[in-house]
Each structure stands twice: as C-alpha cells, then as structure tokens.
Structure 1
C-alpha cells in the first residue's frame, strides 16, 4: 500500500519540479516569489512579540525589565543565526539552510503560544530569533544569485518588501484578537511550517552555488580568509560600519518613535498615525532603494538616500504640527528602509560565490548589533535629559560614516570593473 502511494506522490513531485524549472525566468520568478513569502512571514514573526507584548506581560506577570529580556532574547538569537546561517550555507547550500531556518523559527514561534514559564519564554524567543537570523542572509543570497547584476537590487527589494508588510499583518492580527495574544504566535508558527513543503519542492538552489560546488576543486576557506582575504578587508570593514550605523538608526526609530512624539506633545492617536506612516514609507522605501540602485549611479543613490534620511530626521525633530510630522515620519521610514536595501543589494557582489553567504551573514550580524545599540543609546540619551533633539542629533555622525563607507565600496567595485574591462580589451 505504501509503495503504491509513494509512486504517484514521487511522480507528482517530479512533474511539479519539471514545470517549475522549465525556464530560467520561471526559476527566477519562483525564487523571488518564495523568498518574498518567507520574508513576509519573517516580518510577521519579528513583530509578533511587540504586538503581543500586553498579553505576554499580563499572562506572565512581567515587569518592564523582564519584558525587555523577552525582546532581547529574540534579538540575541538573531546575531549567531545570521552569521552561522550564512557560513554553513556556503558549505551545504542556501536552500537547505533556508528551509532549516524557516522550520526552526516556525516550531519555536508556535511553541511561544504554549510555554508556561518565564524561562521557557526566553528560550523559545531565543530559538525563534536564531531561525529568523539564519534566514535573512540566505534570502538575500538566493535573490542576488537568481538574477543578473542589472536586476539584483530590484530582486532583493521585492523580496525584502515582505518584511514590513509582514510586520503590518502582525499588527492587524493583534488588533483582531486583542484578548488572545497566543493567536499571533499560532499564525506565526503555522505559516512557516506550511511553506516548508512548498520550498522543498519548488525552491531551486542557486545556480551560482551549484556551479561552484561542481567545479573540479570547490573552494573551502576559513572564516577569516572569507571575510578579509584577497583584498576584502577594507570592503568587509566598510560594509560592517555602514550596516551598524544604518540599522542603529532604523531600530531606534522602530522602538522609540512613538515615545519621542509623545515627548514632543503629540497625542497617542497622532503618534500611532505617524508610526503607521513610517511603516508604509518603509515598505515603499524597500522597493525604491533597489530599483534606484539598478537604474542610477550607485554613489548618487547613496547620497540621495542618506541626505533624505538626515533631512527626514531633522523634520521629525523640528515639526510642531501633525501634518508636517506625518510627512516627516513617512519620509523617515522611506529613506531608512531604502538605505537598508541599498546595503543589502551591495553586500552580495562584494564576495565571490564560495563565501558570499558568509560575507552577507557577517554584515547582517553586525547590523543586528546596531539594532541592539540604537534603542539602548536612545534610552541613555533621553535619560540624560537631551530630549528628542539630542537623540536625533546623535544619529547624524553615524549616518555620515555609513554613507561614506558604502560609497567607498561602490567606488572600489567600479574601479575593479574598469580594470577587468581593460584587461579583457
């Protein structure tokens, strides 16, 4: 009986695969579509704890300090997840690690709905973060390697647009089920578990990775050599600085924007409106950054995006009415997400295929350090009495450093391409 069932299932699987892999364009579409779905779910799970915070606080009798540990547990898991997820993927494949990562954060997000102790809650949030962290560098690598150089930014931006949209869905679920916080984690856990079989059948492995693995002598390098060897030290350090300072500002805004607005005298509904516009701007910015990078001069794009971000932050600090503040909040979300997408698009081509996921994963991990540093720094600055203006002014030097370092990466890449073209001529 089992044998008779196994045969048609196997035939169906092969048929689906043949149809899905029929043309390169179909492989590309499948890769980006499935990666977008995973990014959507990742965005949902990244925001789940925040949207369910009130229910978690009441159920587990958590004070603010304990609640902070719940948030921190997930963030701490993101760091090793991003680094090791990329490092292992360079050895056994992007698809395998992405599937394992989705399975991991799906299981532990679902488990969050059923834990009964504070220590258990910390454990499942850490493990969820581990899976979420491991997924992102492989999503970036798969999308970057699915298309040609001219469309890389657009492909990554389409994929990453799923993250803010997923966060918005988490907020909607929390509003629909305000008395049942577990529903958020049940949905956030079941969705990835349902997607895993589709990924196993339909998601193609990166052609670049397969070709590298099938070479006569597939490259195996140490982590240090992968990141700093063959003249990559300056590029790696530049990427790390730009990731760190950009994500410092992004997560500072994600965590503190409503509080900063309340301090400036805006009402809670007004602060909520600006936060919503910030997220809408972020979704559009994720598309804008990649599309601009594919169609325009990279250095001009970086100058435009980071100048726009500095101007938007100035608007947030100086606006006194709800309409100008709403515009500033929307612009801040648009430009900070566009800046992040520029970074995500520029990291993959900075490394050869054999170490690409390692390089991207390390940069993402450094960015996660910024995601921890930003909210902490904002809290310290506010505690010192510097106010909203002090917080926003403190971000300016870091953003200037981020812009200059990523420009150096673009300039180096352009110089190398010119040299290679001259050599071919």
Structure 2
C-alpha cells in the first residue's frame, strides 16, 4: 500500500482550497480601484477622499498580517484562515451598504484586516502540505490566484452596468468567501507539521516562543532583517507600478484602451510568474532563481522607462508582472523556509506585514515625486537601485540558508 498517496491527495486539496482563497483575496484587493469612479459619483467624494479609501484597506493589511501570523502559531493555521475569510467576506458585503465616507473607511479597514490575516496562513498551509523540496512550487501555485483574482475584478467592473453596478463587485467579493467557508471546514486539513510540533511542545511542557525569540533569537536576527529589506524594496516597486502604470501609459500619449491592454499584460505576466518562477526554485536552486528574478525585474523596469509605443509598453508590463509578482511568490516561499514550524506563522506574518508597508509607501512616495514634477519614467528608472538593494538582501538570506539547511528547518 502506498501510504504517501493520501498525503499527496491532502496536499493537492490544501493547495487547491488555498488557491481559491487567494483568488478571492486578489479580487477583493482590486475591488476598490475598480469601483472607485462610480463610488465617487454616488457619495460625491473628492480625489483626496478616494485616496483615503484606497489607503485604509492597505492600512488594515499590515496589522492583519502580523496578528494573523502570530495567531497561526497559537491557534492553528486552518482556524485562523477560516476566521480571516469570514472577516473579509462579511465586511466586503458590508461595503455594499455604506452610506457615507466614514462608513466606507470603516468597512474597508475591517476588510483589510481579514485579507491581511489570511495570507500568512495560506503560505504556512501550502508550504507545510508538501515535502520541503516542493515547497516553493506549492506557494507559487497558491499565490498565482492573486493576479488572476484581480483580473476577474476588472471583468466584473466592466460587465456591471450603471452607477449602482459598483456594488456587484463587493457582493461577489463577499459572498464568494462565505460560500468557501463550508469547503474549508469540511475538506481543509490542519497542517500535520503544526499538530506534531504542538504535541511535542505539550509533551515537553514547552510554551510557544514569543515574538522576539521567533524573529531575533537562535541565529535568525540577520536573516529576518535581510528578509524584511528584500520584502520592503520589492513591494515598494511592485505597488508603485500597480497604482501608477495606467497613468504612465497615458502620459506617453497612448489611449485608455492601450492602457487597459498594458494592465492586462501585467496581470497575465503576474499569474504566470507566480507559478513558473517559484517552481524554478525547487528545480534549479534558490541562488540562480533569485539572481535571475531580480535581473529580470531590472530589465523590465528598463523596458518600461524607455518604452514609447503601445507594443513596447505591453511587453514591459508583461515582464514587470512576470518578475515582480513572480518575485513576490519567491519571497513568500523563502520566508516559509527559513522559520521552523513552531514559529513559521509569526515569521511569515511579520515579513508580510513589512511588505505591506511597501504597498503603502510605494504609491505614496511616487505620488509626492510626481506632484513636484518628476516624470513616471524617471521614477521607474530610479527604482532599479532599490531593486538592487532588495536583491542583495534576498541573496544574503539564501547564503545564510543553503538548500540543505532550508530543508532542515522545515520540520
């Protein structure tokens, strides 16, 4: 009898369910941007107020990731994921019932908390559902749901008619997670590694490690710091492009249709990159994958900075999505590999939270520089040194944990 067959089946089910949740998360993260013009007309919101509506959801992601990761190590990955999914589902529906600017901010902040808390648990569940040598592939397969979910949000926005149609996207973003909850309850298995670790701790009467020990003790301080630098630098550039790429296309004198094509190519590239680049880590090793990934990011930025036609902008958008979004899945896989099971949720959650700071800082810094007269092309080119710093930090993480040692901490 092949005892590994049920384990492989459970792993595939876990990754599939986590992919569905990531798809819904990507949809919800994109929903405010898609619905913004019609929401602004209905509630008579100024541009600055819409900026707050965008930012408050991102602000909720940061504490959500840190808290969700910490609770994962205490309560279990499955339980916290289900609570997170329920939270962002309920408050996405609540967004359809808002009556003014303040109620909109409250609903989006609470949605952000749920979305932020889900991601560390998705990463932990996928990385612990497969053998260590398949961990990066599993995390990448889950994370590809994010850009595809964002693309679905854009489609819903297009096919929803009239000014009232903006509510449709939030209904989908809320009902979808609530319908997923019974599937998670019935078919999602708690991480066997987490259960075994908790049993060992109980047998030896050991308390769960504190945050300081999880992140900074037992030789992890330098690794944690380098991981945070790589997350922050990469996500500053990623979210700068997510927010400003359409404006950059229009500033070149191209049409809104061409801008939409560039954005679509960015999302397609992101979905492909999340699967392919993370999977390469398991096949050719971490150092060549991370090196190639950051060289690809720098090349994509150079193409975007110099592009002048719709075709070259679309090609640059495809490359940027491929390597930046793919790079994010690689960093998630690295984070899940360098922390032992006992503190994996805390370590991954903290790294995700630091990355969420980049999602706030990137658009904010870019907006301020554009306001004083810098062009988007100059900002894209200026992002290349930041990517170089992030690359050095990620390679330091890899150097501290060669392939064998990554696997050693998996158990």
Whether TM-score is above 0.5 comes out as yes
> Using the alignment, how far apart are the partners of 2:17 and 2:122 within structure 1?
9
Contact 2:274 2:326 in 1 (8 A): yes
For the residues of structure 2 that align with 1:418 and 1:80, how far apart are their CA atoms? Answer: 27
| Higher mean displacement: 194-203 or 317-326 | 317-326
- Asked if the contact 1:164/1:283 (under 8 Å) is kept, the reply is yes
Give me the whole-angstrom Cα distance separating, in 1, the residues matched to 2:235 and 2:115: 16
1:181 to 1:303, Cα distance in 2 relative to 1, 3 A: same
Q: Residue 386 of structure 1: SS of its match in structure 2?
A: coil
Pick aligned residue for 1:206 from 176, 191, 208: 191
Structure 1 equivalent of residue 374 of structure 2: 386
Counterpart CA distance in 1 for 2:92 and 2:198 is 34
Query: C-alpha deviations, 1:226-247, integer Å up to 9, x for none?
Result: 1101010001001100000101
Indicate whether 1:83 and 2:83 are aligned: no
> Quick one: which of 340, 343, 351 aligns to 2:339?
351
Cα deviation per residue 1:16-55 (whole Å; 9 max; x = unaligned)? xxxxx98111110110010001011111111111111112
What do the CA deviations read for 1:187-219 (whole angstroms, capped 9, x no partner)?
110010011011011100001100011111344
* CA RMSD between the two structures: 1.6
Contact 1:74 1:126 in 2 (8 A): yes
130, 136, 140: which one pairs with 1:147?
A: 130
Secondary structure, in 3 states, of the residue corresponding to 2:376? Answer: helix
Q: Determine which of 64, 69, 72 is the counterpart of 2:55.
A: 72
Q: Which runs of 5+ in 1 are unaligned?
A: 1-20, 421-425
Distance 1:382 1:102 in 2: 36
Unaligned residue ranges in structure 2 (runs of 5+)? none
Whether 1:137 aligns to 2:120 is: yes
Verify: 1:404 aligned to 2:392, yes or no. yes
TM-score (norm 2): 0.95
- Partner residue of 1:322? 310
Q: Is the 8 A contact 1:260 1:388 kept in 2?
A: yes
Q: Is the 8 A contact 1:108 1:189 kept in 2?
A: yes
Q: Secondary structure at the match of 1:147?
A: coil
When residues 51 and 419 of structure 1 are mapped into structure 2, their CA distance, relative to the original with a 3 A threshold, is: closer
The ranges of structure 1 where at least 4 consecutive aligned residues each deviate by more than 6 angstroms after the TM superposition are none
**Superimposed CA distance per residue, residues 34-82 of structure 1 (whole angstroms, 9 cap, x where no aligned partner):** 0001011111111111111112111111000110111111001000000
1:415 to partner: Cα distance: 7.9
TM-score, with structure 1 as normaliser: 0.92
Structure ID, larger Rg: 1
In structure 2, the residue matched to 1:7 is none
Distance 1:79 1:178 in 2: 33
Native 8 Å contact 1:281 1:333 kept in 2? yes
Shift of 1:324: 1.8
